[in-house]
Every structure is written in C-alpha cells, then in structure tokens.
Chain A
Amino acid sequence: MRQQQPAISKGIDWSLAWIYLLLVAIGLTAIFAATYKEGDPVLQSFLGFKTDYSKQFYFFLFSFVLGFFILLTDSKFFSATANLLYAIGILMLLVVFPFHSPIKGTESIIKLGAFNFQPAELCKIFVALALAKYLSRPDTDFTKTRAQLIAAGIALFPAALTILQSETGLALVYFSFFLVMYREGLPSAILVIGFSAAVLIVATLLVEKLTLAIILTGLALLVIYFTRRQWKRRTALLTQIIFIWLICVGIQFFAVPMAFKKVLKLYQVERIYSTVGIDVPAEYMEAHLEEIAKNKDKKKDIDYNVRQSKIAIGSGGFFGKGLLSATQTRYDFVPEQRTDFIFCTVGEGFGFAGSFVLLTLYIILLLRMITIAERQRSTFSRAYAYGVAAVIFFHMAINIAMTIGLAPVIGIPLPFISYGGTSLLTFTIMLFILIRLDADRQMVLR
C-alpha cells in the first residue's frame, strides 16, 4: 500500500466528493433564497458573516478544510481512537446538562462564543465509529444475543441522553444504526418484528382499540384454525401463536395508549395524529389537561407547519417558480424554512424537476455508499460506511417525508442542505472519514 509519494488523492472516491459539493451548493442556494431580502448587496452579504447564507458559507469552508485534514489523517487513527472518541462524545452530552444555553424548547445546545454547538448532532460520528469498532472486534460474536445487546446499547445510550435534552427527533436518528446491525447479522426476525410493530402501531392510531382487539383475536383464531394439523403435532406452536396474540393485544390495548398518555407530550401526540390525518381522540386529550391549560394562550394550529409546507412545495408545480419568485418560502409562510423545512424552498423554487434532481443525488449518494461499504476488506470500514449511509438515509427520508406530510414533524435537519453549522460539520466529517477509510479499503483495520 505505502508508496514513495503518498498523494492524498490516491484511492479517493471522487463521486462522493462531487455529490457532496453539489448538495452543499444546493443548500447554500436554498438558504439564500429563503433568507435573502430585496436590496441586499449579494456579494457583500455573502462575505459579511451577517446573513444566514453567509454564515453557512463560512461553515462550509471550515468543514471543508477540516475534511481536507481528515483526508490527510491515517485511517488507523479512526479505528484506534473510536472508543475514546465515543467516550468524549458521551462526556460532551453529559456536559450539556449543566451548561446548556437557555434557548427555548431544547436543552441540547452549548454556546461557544458566537456559536451554538449541539453535541447530540456531533455524537452520531462517534457512535458510528464506536459501533463499527465493536462489530469489527475479533472477539465479537454477533450471532450471540449478548453482543447484539451491547451493540444496541452503544447506539441507544446517546439516544437516551438526547431524549433527556428534549431532542426526541435527534434521538430517533440513533435507531438508524439498527440497519448496520442488520447488515452485520442481526436476525431478520427483528426486522420483521420491527415492521410488524410499526404496522400495529399505525393500526392502533387508525382503528378504535376495541375493534382492533377483536380483529386481532379473529386473526389469531383463523391462524389457529388453519394450522391445526401442525399444532396438533407440536403443541408449542399453539403456545407461540397465543403468546404473539397476547403481545399484540397488549401493545395496542395498553402500551400505545399508555405511551400517548404518559410518555409523549401532547404536541407529539398531535403531530403523530396529524400525519395520519385524524384528530387526537378525547381520551388522550384528557390525559394532557395540564399541558393544555399551560399552553392555552399560545394556541397555534398544530397542522400549520405541514400545511404551509405542503402548500409551498405543491405550488412549485413541475418546473418551480424560480429561485426568488417563490412567494411561500420567501415571505416566511413556512416556519423553520432555512433549517428543518429547507426542502420547501427547493420544492417551491425548482418544482418537481428540482426536487427530483435533489432526491436523485441523495439516492445516488446512498447507493454509492452501500457499494463502497461492500468493497471494504475490513469490517470496521464496512460497518462505518453502513452507519453513515443509514444516518444520512434516516435524516433525508424523514425530513423530506415530514415536509410533504408523510411523516410526523420531527425536527431533524436535511443533510448538507439545512442551515446549521453543527449539522453541516457533522455530516462533512462523517463523509470524509468514509472517503478516507475507503481510500484505504485494501487495508484491514481493527
């Protein structure tokens, strides 16, 4: 591997780099469109660090330089320091608790001079590295439940901390690491169970719970009837069926209502219900009387964000209205449009064509990452690549899905596009570590 003159460019996957630059450029354009006010001198304000697009531009420069340094770093560095970095990441998350800045609605931000820094965002890198490290350990036998539980623990411990900082959205991102584990040998059954659970929960939202219980019972009886020959031979099967039935009914009859009443906040329940398009049932409203009483003077229609965002995107038409003629996003109809709802700007300004191009860039990026992952010799690199792909996929899919009303509103940024220094920095670092690792794909890292 070692050559006389090691060029950084050697082995680098340029397609990732180019897509990265394209996405960042689109992001800057979109932020510019969303925040530019008529009459501002464009160049001046771009360099002035006053406007959002200017700030994002400098964030990008900083991230890019950092990415360059990553390319200069030895690949072994990442595998070697993975556990340490994870520890540092957890420490940072813990430090947030006493030192977070008093910004409303979140307790996850530390103020560093002029910058707001969000460790929960950055921590994703360390989790991806640490998980890869754990999975690539020679003495990890991932077929064992114990190893699977440890891996899940590595991924979900920061998530738990993040939830404590009122950043449920960011915490959910950590669940995307199950994709890595799946690739590395988590039983398929877990995926099936996860999917079934999702279907069951959605069904709970849509169908009245007693009716659903009856339907489930009916289904169970049918299965019992059709499998009568099998369970007559093997009684354990009957027990299993009844056990599954019990769990399902338990979830839909007790667990989900319990979660909606006691665990989730009212606004979260409302967001979930507004995604499936029905009102929150009275029994859940009653469980949140305290919260209703507290917020009764700031009654904002929960649907507002999604409705405005759908209007903005929908009004873009096929080719869009053009960058600065997009009325909805230019005039602040969509809240959070430079951060979480940045996709509206693209959708309105560039229409279906533009949105399609953006999505295609993402899917190429993701599929390319899978390809890259699969060509790695070392498990560490592969697992890490899957980790990066999974995180970006989760961010992208959920973010866009929420702007077009397919998913509940979860405040997570669109990778490379949304305004936000920490987010851009995180994804840049993640991507450039991947590029670095890939450049050394022939090497076996432990």
Chain B
Amino acid sequence: MSVFNQSRSRIIRFIFIVAFVVIVVQLFYLQVISGKYQQLARDNAVFAKVVYPERGIIFDRNGKAILNNTIIYDLMVTPAEVKGLDTLEFCRLIGMDTVEFNKRILEAKFKNTAVRPSVFKGLLTKEMQARFEENSWKYPGFNLVERPLRSYSYNAAAHILGYIREADTKDIENSGNFYRQGDFIGKTGLESYYEKVLMGQRGVQHMIKDNKNRLVGHFENGAYDTASVAGRGLRTYIDIELQQMAEQLMANKVGGLVAIDPKTGGILAMVSGPNYNPNDLTGPDGSKNYSKMVLDVTGPMLNRAIGGRYEPGSTFKPLGALVALNEGVITPSYGYPCGGRYTLCGHGKPACTHAGGGHAANVRLSIANSCNAYYAHVYRLTVDNPKYGNVKNGYLHWKEYMNTFGLGVRLGLDLPNENPGLIPDTSVYNKENANRWTSCTNLTLGIGQDKMLTTPLQMANAMCIIANKGYYYTPHFVEKIDGETDEDSSLMKKFRVKHDVLTHIPDTAFSAVIEGMNDVVKFGTARIAQIPGIDVCAKTGTAENYTILDGRRIKLPNNSMFVSFAPKDNPKIAIAVFVQNAGFGATWAGPISRILLEKFLNDTLMTKSKADLERISKANLMPAYFKRLQYKEDSIRSYKWFQTTKDSTYIRKYTTGVFPEKSKPAKKNPVRKPNEILAVLPERTNYLATGKSPQA
C-alpha cells in the first residue's frame, strides 16, 4: 500500500516534539530558574525541633543545690495506634472515668490528628508513672515523655529563687521573638534576673517530617543540628540553713527579713511573710496553686523584703545621728534636755518614753534610750543648718544623705521588682504647704516617720554601712557564676564595686553611733538580743499603723522592727526584721534577729533560743482583718463573675451561710485623709499597713 501522505507523519512528529519542548521548558523553569520551590520543600519537610537545655542549678554558700532539676512525665497518646485497649482497666490505672477517657481521646484527635502524639494527661504523679510503666506493654499508643521540672530541694527561698512559667505574649514580644509559645522563662527572683545564664543555649535539631507532620528522622543526618548547652550554675551567698530557720520564724507573719554579710554585700537570707513552698508552683498542681496564691489578699507572692514599704521609725535614728555628726551640727557629746516631749515646735510632739535623767546627754545615750525629742531636734539642726541658707536647701542636702544611705532609691540587687521606698522631694512639701514650710512641718522625719518609707533590704543595707563605717557593696545573692564569661562579668560588675559613700564621716562619729547601738543591747530596749560572747549592735523600732476597711479607719497592732549587726568590731552579719502588726519591736523582731545571729555566728542555739524558736514559729500573727478582706474580695469577684457569665457556682456560698463579722472601727478615728494614706502604700497591696508614730 502506498504511503498516504508523508507530510502528515512530519506533522505528527512535529506535535510530539513541540510537546517535548514545552515540557522541558517548564521543567527547566521549575527546577533550575525558579528557586522558590527548594525553600518550599524545606518548609514542607524540615521541622526545626528546639532542644531545650537543662536550666542552671543554684547553690548556696556551702555548695548545696537549693534549686535543682528533676524529671516528671507526661502521658502521651497517639490515637491511631490505640488498639485492643482494655479501657476500663486503663482508666482504673490512671484514675479517670471512661467518659473522661473518651473525651480526651477525642480532644487529642481534634487537636493533633489521630496519627500524631498529643498530651493525654500532663505531669503524672510518681505513683501513677510507676504504675503505668509496669503495665505499659498493655497499652499501645500510650507512652511517657520526659519533661524537666524545677525542684526546690529545701522547700525554701521561694521569693529569692523565683519561678519559671510559660512565656506569655508580652515576654515573647519583649525578647524580640527569641522566646516562643511554650518556652519557659524565669518570671521572678533569681530565675528571672539570671535568665540568660540559667537558661543555657537552645539547640536545634532539623527533623524531617512527613505529610502528616510525623518526625521521621534527622535532616541530612544532622548536619545542620546544633547541640544545646546546659545553663550554668549560680553560686550564691545564701546560707540555706539560716534561710530555712528564718522562714520558720517568719511563718504566719506578715513582714520582711533580710540578712546581709556587710563585708561583701552578699545576702545570706531573705524572707517575706507570708511565704509559700516553691514546690507548690511546679508539678501537677502548679497552676491551681498559682491562681490560688494570686487571689490571696495576704499577698504570698509579694516579696516584702524588697517590695514592702515601712516607716523605719526608731531604727532610723542611728542614721540621723551620723548625718548630724558629719555635718558638724552636733558633736558626739551633744546633749538635749528632753523632758518627755519635744516642745520647740510648739505642739509638744513627738512624745518620748523617757523623761529627764539626762537620758539624752550625748549621742551614745540618745541612741541607747531612743530619745524622740533628741532626734527630732537633731533633724531640725541638720536641715536648718545656716550653711545652706534656708530649710529647702538644707532639706535637699539631708535627702542626698538619705539617698547615699540607700534610702529612697533602688539599691539594684539581683532581684526584679525592687521598691525604692520613699524620701519625698521638697516639691511634695511645697505643694502641701503652699510653698511655706519649716523644719517643724516634717519634724518626725528625724524619727523615721512622716512620709519616709523604707524596705527591709534598705535598712539592712544601712546597717551594713554603719557596721563597715562608711562603705557597702550593693546587696546581691550571686557570688559567682559557673564558667563565668565576659558577658557575665559585666553583669556581675556592679556587685563587685565597693561604694565608699560615707567613709569621709569621721571614725568618732561612727564609734559614737556603734557604741550607742551596742548599749541598746546591753542596757537599752534590745536586751533581748544579748548573746553571750558576742557584741551585738541593734536598734528596735515600733510603728503604729492603721488600715481602712469597710470605709472605716481601724487601728492595727504595731509593727515590730529590729535592725542589728554583729559582732561589733568585726561585723559578719547585718539583719533587718520587720514584722507587721506584731506589737513591740523587742517582743518579736528582736528574738527573731537574735536566733538568726546565733545560728549564723555560733551555728548552735542557746536553750533559751531553742524555746523562742519553738514559740515564735508557732505564733500566728496574721492580722485578723485579712479574713474580712479576703471575704470581701472573693465575694465581689464572684458577684462580677455571676454578672458576666450568669454562673452562680461561686456566688452561692456568699448568699447563704455565715460570713465573718464586720471589723470594729477604731475609736473616734474617722478617715481623715484616706487618699493620702492609700497613696503611700505599695500598689495592689495597699491595705498592707505601714506604721505610724514609733516609740522606743
């Protein structure tokens, strides 16, 4: 048969070749020219899995690990692999009913699909974990995944060490997206301040994933992976035994306690009452406990040692003396004829516990007897010093002294959220007194009252300055960082600088004050702090205080304060103790200080101290009004909850049953300047009282 038409065969060949060329061109474009597909493929198939390093460990001064890592287990489930499961038995094993079981399996499928593992039950208890491990072969599709957890080996130092939690959106934003959802970050305490050191360096594993996001192996055999570097340890000054004892003493009390080694500025112990067990925030019940504590009106999360603001009262007097001595307005032998009250301002205030007998014949005696009139007068002499022309200039000078003593400014210790306290500026007095005021206006600043507010830390640091005769190191916890880098050193630099702030004050002035404080213990108000064989220097303080509750001003028991250092000639420890609403300075804060001094300096306790330890740690000095306050806060919250959600679960217990009585008003004490009182209190906890008119 003849060939029909050769040209048609050519056309068909041509069609074949055109198709071939078109495909080759498109392939060339996809594979060679356009680079985007490589990246897309990578995004598709490579998952950068973050490997979390172990967080650094925190040690006390004796090398004991006080914050360590432990491992707890999450029970994971891969729903597609769950086969032939005896659901009933399994539920009994992990303590769950079958309804809940089915719900969780559904949830897992919904969240992560059936083929990928998701958390079935987080943070198993040890017992549950052991039970599961024994029987795990019976439960395909379930497995345990390790999760590192912080563990506080001594159940102590919660406020110092702080805690970690999942980073919230703000943390993530602030870190420039360094942290990601689900990362843990130090939220308070040393965990927060030394976050960079403790967290270590995250590693990355590039894992290949399949179309269902299951990880199936290392990408390019791990060529791009980086190993994680464990966080470095912190060596602190903390004496964990001292810390534990201090916490025992402050149990069920509101207040703050700070113990510092004056020679180094190293903080030996720091307690804020009420306290909490740091291990409560980790582990299975962590979140529950956290929210409970956040809503507690006693403020267990607030570190009162650095965040509580108290009128220092009489404990301030040694500082007043030093300023006046240095300014030359008095000499160590300066005396004031106190007759029981201060009369030079015309209103006979402040009153004094002693009258006559030359109880304020010189500086040393005035401290030992804590003469209010003497220090009111000394304050006036200081600010009215003719050298400065007028009271405002004089006041500014006095304020500068206060700031060099570390009052009214942040000291900058290695914990976040330090409160600067308050030494008011002249503008405050100008405003309140229409620009016309004299040293009589704020006379009680001389005895640590008026608008002056300090934190326990500031007072402890002030004691260090006196003990050291003029210098101090910024108080801090961390002595050194394991494997310290240059970056760490710059972080630590400010704690290693000696601040020679007041070394120009003559030795005679210091001696007069120190001897006076020694006399306080020997013959004065702080005889309770005597320790045989050790020269203790101390000063007591007591402050009245009020709070406002149910629209009435109520008087609360006095705040008890005690500052001290010892031994006199070679000071090794300075302590400031503030106990709210505890009564007289010497009854609670005094013995607490003594026990701690003994513990630190002698490492044993006298029989008397052992008894005191027993007595004090059992004493509950929580102010009664907290109960009423808690009741109010809770009921208001549940009412609001009811209003927004129409869910009456919470409010029901407030609409029925008994509830705490309203507090009794203080006698004839209407609210005079509620705003003023509230204004000076720390935020959110503004009902946590401060002191008024100290004595002795």
Contacts and interface: CB of A to CB of B under 8 A. Distances in A.
A404 B24 CA distance: 10
Interface string A278-322: 000000000000000000000000000000101111111110000
Contacts, number: 127
B16 A393 contact: yes
Given A182-B8, A367-B13, A327 B45 contact: yes
B40 A183 contact: no
Given A328-B41, A331-B45, A333-B211, A314 B12 contact: no
Task: Determine the main DSSP class of A at the interface with B.
Answer: helix
Given A184-B4, A333-B45, A379-B1, A397 B23 contact: yes
Contact of B4 (A183, A356, A401, A406): A183
Contacts of B209: 331
B23 A406 contact: yes
B31 A352 contact: yes
A318 B31 contact: yes
A274 B44 CA distance: 21
B37 A311 contact: yes
A213 to B, nearest CB: 30
A378 B1 contact: yes
Contacts of B216: 38, 331
Contact of B26 (A315, A317, A404): A404
Contacts of B27: 313, 347, 352, 355-356, 359, 404
B211 A374 contact: no
Contact of B12 (A182, A317, A355): A182
A420 interface: no
A367 B13 CA distance: 7
Nearest to A179: B12
Contacts of B161: none
A130 interface: no
B368 interface: no
A404 B45 contact: no
A370 interface: yes
Nearest to B214: A331
A179 B11 CA distance: 10
Given A185-B4, A366-B16, A351 B31 contact: yes
Contacts of B208: 327, 331
Given A374-B9, A406-B26, A315 B20 contact: no
B428 interface: no
B19 A393 contact: yes
B10 to A, nearest CB: 9
Nearest to B45: A327
B8 A183 contact: yes
Nearest to B13: A370
Contacts of A373: 9
A333 B16 contact: no
Contacts of A444: 1
A74 interface: no
Interface string B200-222: 00000000111110001101100
A400 interface: yes
A313 B30 contact: yes
B38 A314 contact: yes
A141 interface: no
A100 interface: no
A209 interface: no
Contacts of B44: 308, 311, 327-328, 333
A247 interface: no
Interface in B1-37: 1, 3-6, 8-9, 11-13, 15-17, 19-20, 22-24, 26-28, 30-32, 34, 36-37
A183 B6 CA distance: 9
A363 B16 contact: yes
B26 A183 contact: no
B543 interface: no
B46 interface: yes
A347 B26 CA distance: 12
Contacts of A347: 27, 30-31
A444 B2 CA distance: 12
Interface in B346-374: none
A393 B22 CA distance: 14
A393 B20 CA distance: 10
A208 interface: no
24 contacts: A183-B12, A185-B4, A311-B40, A313-B30, A314-B30, A314-B34, A315-B40, A317-B32, A327-B46, A332-B210, A332-B211, A332-B212, A333-B45, A351-B31, A352-B32, A363-B16, A367-B13, A367-B16, A374-B9, A389-B12, A401-B23, A401-B26, A405-B26, A406-B22
Interface of B: 1, 3-6, 8-9, 11-13, 15-17, 19-20, 22-24, 26-28, 30-32, 34, 36-38, 40-42, 44-46, 208-212, 216-217, 219-220
Given A328-B44, A328-B45, A347-B31, 16 more contacts: A308-B44, A311-B44, A312-B41, A313-B27, A315-B42, A327-B41, A327-B46, A333-B211, A359-B27, A366-B16, A374-B6, A374-B9, A393-B16, A401-B19, A401-B23, A406-B26
